[in-house]
Structure 1
Amino acid sequence: MKRIASQTSLGVTLLKIILPVCLIALGVTGFWYYKSKVVKFKRNPAVKTAPVVDIMKVNPSRVTAQIRAMGTVQADREVVIKSQVAGTVIQVAPEFVQGGLIRKGQLMVRIDPADYALAVNKAQSALAQAQADFEIEKGRQQIAREELKLMSMMSPNEVQETSLVLRKPQLEQAGAAVASAQSDLETARLDLERTRIIAPFHALVRSKEVDAGAMTAAQGALATLVDVTCYQVEVQVPLDRLDRIRVHETNGSPVRIRSLYAGREWDGRVVRTTGAVTEQSRMAGVIIRVDDPLGLGSAKGRPAMLLDDHVEALIEGQVFDNVFSLPRTLIREDSSLWIYKDGRLEIRKVAPVWIENDRVFIQSELSPGDLVVCSDLSAPVSGMAVTLALGESR
């Protein structure tokens, strides 16, 4: 029995040793078998390809700089009309209403002239009295001169002739009274004339302060008038663009003005600057003149311009000859352009002479017929090979 047990134990031990060895051998054999069956791929060397780009051929042209600015319509001349005499308003013109149009020389307001007409009559009477006194004094002076002559003939002693004896001071006093009475009459007539308030120019009544039946005091406000022969628009322009604008009273840069709300348009011209820079935006103030803003004269039929309207002004600035106009997106971050030349990329520094919205204008760094690369490149290097896209021609 011991022998059988010993043989069984030996068999189990051999099985534990032989089985793992067989499994390992089987695994190695399978690995080498499958490895011999793997398809081997042959790699070809990489072929370098040039980036494909789109191009744009450029040619020079004549360009007028356009400066856009925002502004507000203002009165070119605005005055407050005041009464120079006191009294009751007895008449106003039908056009004397807010927004009404008054012609130059038209009667706007009339103040009761009765008291001032009486003052004129009184002054005329005073002048007539003073003139009569002056004539009487002239006669007295003549009499005094004759009396002095007789006294000289009758008296053995020479009678001294003096200005007082000849009544010269009295005559001068009478003459001064005449002059004073004349001045009083002129003042009374002037006050009477001032009871008629006349429009000093062709005007728009912006506001009125009195109506018929109202009492007005001397220096009391009657109305605010705006000259309608021209308006002005004040716009703000960046300082670096101010030099491109022609400022002149009669030959300034032309301007096209458009209302932001109504879409109406008018023509104007740049006449002057405000002479100051705005405190917050640090921009220059520019004044644009608009003639006949209400379309009453030569521009009859044109839409009326409204005061305080917000407008956009398109100013025609400097004219550039032989400049190249390009989309602003073609200017790279380092202020350069990519040029296609004989299959190579050329990186060329540029300095635009004018930038306007989405366009840039270049004058000296390009030549007619240059091919500007429009495509983006991930790693552009000057001299690198590039290929034109299909359909592109040189």
Structure 2
Amino acid sequence: MILLGGVFLSYRYGVTHSMEIVTAASGPLELTLKGPGTFSALDSVNVSSRIQGLLVAVHVDRNDMVHKGELIADIASDDLESQLASAEASVDAARRAIEVSRSQLSQSETALQNARKSFDRQEALIRAGTTTQASYDGALATFRQAQADVTRANAVIAQAEADLRAAEANVRLNQAKLAETRIIAPFDGIVTVRQQNAGDMTTPGAPIVTLVDPGTIVVTARFDENAIQLVKPGQKARIGFSTGTEPALPATVYRLSREVDEETREFTVDIKPESLPDAWAIGRRGTAVVTTGVLSDVISLPLSAIVWDAGFPGVWHIESGRAKFARVTLGGASEDRIEILSGLAAGDEVISAPHGVYRGMRISPKGFS
């Protein structure tokens, strides 16, 4: 048993293990935040109808580029066209009624002028005593009737004009309804989804297609709430993908949300890429890296070198050829490196990716015996 123990100790502390070693050195460190994100668009709309009806045509499909005002779909419009024709006929009838009423008014005004002259003459004669009372009374009655006829003719014109306004309003209403059978694009964009087809019965608000303005596409990234004070609009960023074959996209922080998710304790940041990848799609996932600052002269190590012991960070550094654990104080981090505030000095050698390391293990840099 003693012999076995000796062999074990001899192997454990006598055998040299070859590992990757990094040297702690001072230099600049770009501070970054890294978080998952998805492609979304600031200008995205479900194009729908305001009326219920049968779709007779959908003129666009997925990936089609459309322009503002371009026809997206048509809804059956036979009934509305008939209603519009009826309303336009009512306008024509109202205009003709006005013309007839004005002609009648002209006749009534001429009759009134004649009746006034006859009455004036009879009034002068009755004063001179050269006409009968009956002639005077007849002229007065004719004059008053002519006045009434003019008043009535004006009333008829006023009613006809009101009917015309109502008919014209009905025409505008039916024109608006008919226009709503033509679904048009509200802005320039790309059709990303087509939800309905010709023959479908569409209802108000039901999406026919989804339209996205590619110029407003952003990547909405999520970060822990504790980092919210580090992120600001205008900061440089980049968007990466897990495929390994697509280059990262240069980007800029566009805006921050001012709401933290109560369950995940994360806030979101909209990051605008300088250009879009050929394979962009709404909802596609990526990884956002935001540059929050640059430290000019600090000691840093690869993130892989940091290990945790009882909740405290530390590293395995090399002292007299053997592994020794040292606790460190961490500072700011980049995507793959982290600042060491205390616990190491420039020039210290550290195991870059410690696995299975124990105190006192004999270590040699990889590539050396």
Quick check: TM above 0.5? yes
Out of 264, 272, 278, the residue aligned to residue 281 of structure 1 is 264
CA distance in 1, matches of 2:63, 2:256: 31
Selected match of 1:210 from 192, 197, 205: 197
TM-aligned CA distance change 1:281 to 1:237, over 3 Å: same
Structure 1 355/84 Cα, relative in aligned 2: closer, same or farther at 3 Å? closer
Asked if the contact 1:256–1:267 (Cα under 8 Å) also holds between the matched residues in 2, the reply is yes
| Cα distance in 2, alignment partners of residues 66 and 171 from structure 1 | 79
The answer to whether the 8 A contact 1:233-1:288 is kept is yes
User: What is the CA RMSD across the aligned residues, in angstroms?
Assistant: 4.4
Picking from 328, 337, 354, the partner of 1:359 is: 337
| 2:232 and 2:256 in contact (8 A); partners too | no
Deviations 1:95-136 (A, max 9, x none): x34x34241243332234443333333222211111122233
Alignment partners' CA distance in 2, 1:266 and 1:119: 55
Q: Does 1:111 align with 2:75?
A: yes
Compare relative contact order (CA 8 Å, sep 6+) and give the higher one, 1 or 2: 2
1:230-277, CA deviations, whole angstroms, 9 ceiling, x for partnerless residues?
Answer: 333222212332222222xxxx22332223357534343322222211
Following the alignment from structure 1 to structure 2, what is the Cα–Cα distance between the partners of residues 148 and 360?
105
Judged with a 3 Å threshold, the aligned counterparts in structure 2 of structure 1 residues 118 and 152 are, in CA distance, closer, same or farther, namely: same
Residue-by-residue CA offset, 1:5-41 (whole Å, 9 max, x unaligned): xxxxxxxxxxxxxxxxxxxxxxxxxxxxxxxxxxxxx
Taking a change above 3 Å as real, the CA distance of residues 140 and 164 of structure 1, as seen in their structure-2 partners, is closer
Residue 303 of structure 1 aligns to a residue in which SS?
A: coil
- Residue pairs, 1:1-394, within 5 angstroms: 58-61=25-28, 63-93=29-59, 96-97=60-61, 99-104=62-67, 105-153=69-117, 154=119, 156=123, 165=151, 167-200=153-186, 201-211=188-198, 214-217=199-202, 219=204, 221=206, 223-229=208-214, 230-247=216-233, 252-261=234-243, 263-264=245-246, 265-290=248-273, 293=276, 302-326=277-301, 354-356=332-334, 359-361=337-339, 371=346, 373-374=348-349
Counterpart Cα distance in 1 of 2:150 and 2:111: 13
* Cα-to-partner distance string for 1:271-297 (whole Å, 9 max, x where unaligned): 22222112223122212234764xxxx
* Cα displacement string for residues 321-347 of structure 1 (whole angstroms, at most 9, x for unaligned residues): 45454556699999999xxxxxxxxxx
Structure 1: 5+ residue runs without aligned partners?
Answer: 1-53, 294-301, 338-348, 379-394
**Alpha carbons 2:57, 2:197 under 8 Å: kept:** no
Quickly say closer, same or farther: Cα 1:117–1:162, change in 2 above 3 A: same
Q: In structure 2, what is the Cα distance between the partners aligned to 1:57 and 1:232? A: 38
CA-CA distance at 1:169 after TM superposition: 4.0
2:74 is paired with a residue of what secondary structure? Answer: strand
**TM-score, length basis structure 1:** 0.59
Partner Cα separation in structure 2 for residue 260 and residue 326 of structure 1: 24
Instruction: Give 1:71 shift.
Output: 2.0
Whether the 8 Å CA contact 1:231–1:291 is kept in 2: the answer is no
The alpha-carbon distance between structure 1 residues 314 and 108, as it changes in their structure 2 partners (threshold 3 A), is same
Distance in 1 between the 2:274 and 2:168 partners? 45
Number of aligned positions between the proteins: 296
Distance 1:221 1:192 in 2: 18
Task: Report the Cα distance in structure 2 between the residues aligned to 1:151 and 1:331, rounded to whole angstroms.
Answer: 117
Measure, in 2, the Cα distance between the counterparts of 1:222 and 1:58.
59
Structure 1, residues 52-77: CA drift from partner, whole Å, max 9, x if none?
A: xx99674443x432211012223433
The change in CA–CA distance for 1:209 and 1:361 in structure 2 (over 3 A counts) is same
TM-fit CA distance, 1:187: 2.6
Give the 3 Å change call, closer, same or farther, for CA 176–292 of structure 1 in structure 2.
Answer: farther
Greater Rg by CA: 1
After superposition, the C-alpha distances for 1:347-392 in whole angstroms (9 at most, x for unaligned) are xx997652335633379x9xxxx7454479x9xxxxxxxxxxxxxx
| Alpha carbons of structure 1 residues 216 and 273: separation in structure 2 relative to 1, 3 Å | same
**Cα gap change, 1:205 to 1:237, in 2 (>3 Å):** closer
Structure 1 or 2: more helix by fraction: 2
Partner SS, residue 191 of structure 1: helix
Asked if 1 retains the 8 angstrom alpha-carbon contact of 2:192 and 2:212, the reply is: no
CA–CA distance in 2 between the matches of 1:87 and 1:358?
58
Report the residue type matching 2:160 in the other structure: A
Measure, in 2, the Cα distance between the counterparts of 1:335 and 1:222: 53
> Per-residue deviation at 1:139?
3.4
CA distance 1:183–1:273, change in 2 (3 Å): same
